Amino acid sequence: MTKLSVNINKVATLRNSRGGNMPDVVKVALDCEKFGAEGITVHPRPDERHIRYKDVYDLTAKIKVEFNIEGYPSPKFIDLVKAVKPTQVTLVPDAPDAITSNAGWDTDRNCQLLTDIVDEFTELGIRTSIFVDADLHMVEYAAKTGTDRIELYTEPYATLYPKNREEAVRPFVEAAKLARKLGMGVNAGHDLSLENLNYLFVNIPWLDEVSIGHALISDALYLGLEKTIAAYKACLKNI
């Protein structure tokens, strides 16, 4: 079964725009859990412009589903992960001022750095995932780090999908096949939506997890959170 992890960064962005605690990030996470999401994802950034470090601790104390913390492995981020011990940490190569993730790791050039971090988290029993493009060379070098999983950066898939979905999905299928051959699990995330998610799943049915935030939270403005989560979970079936 492919799990749905809801990224709640956008909920925190809305809260931070006015101060106070509306909407309540923890309540939304618990509602996602109640409505069937199998995971919650957060991506705290150094300026805390959406998810705050305090949110991570508050969520850890409340949610029961898998907790996935994404981020660049700065010393502050590593200390947070070691303190919280989430189910999974997803390592991304974001610059501090990045608006959103826009590329995977160069796992060849950063192999030793990533290996050291993966080893550190593995010793604590934290599952690791490395954010990569659908590039076979980068998938191969991700495996050399000892990571449990990769997360495929799916923005290129989402961009090409409306024009040629077969061409769009092809490199992702090949990358996922190689990852499986090398013993890694496969996650996917970025710009996945109700429009393109099922086709990705049908072509890569062994996906372990998809992490979806922007489109899902946007859809919830129209459909409501409960119906939206049900709709995304329906995309993760052979329909």
Say how many C-beta atoms besides its own lie within 10 A of residue 182's C-beta: 13
Reduced to 3 states (helix: H, G, I; strand: E, B; else coil), residue 149 is strand
The sign of the torsion formed by the CA atoms of 99, 215, 80, 87 equals negative
Q: Which of 211, 197, 132, 206 is nearest to 168 (CA)?
A: 197
Is residue 151 annotated as part of the catalytic site, yes or no? no
For the chain, what percentages of helix, strand and coil (3-state, to nearest 5) are there? 45, 15, 40
> CB 119: neighbour CB atoms within 10 A?
12
| Annotation says 190 is catalytic | yes
Catalytic residue among 43, 50, 66, 209: 43
Active-site hit among 33, 50, 66, 70 = 70
At residue 158's C-alpha, the angle toward residues 4 and 46, to 5°, is 65
DSSP state, 38?
S
The answer to whether 24 touches 59, Cβ cutoff 8 Å, is no
Bridge partners, residue 40, by sequence: 6, 67
State the virtual CA torsion across 92, 94, 100, 103 in degrees, nearest 10.
-70
* Of 33, 50, 190, 209, catalytic: 190
Residues with a known catalytic role: 43, 70, 190
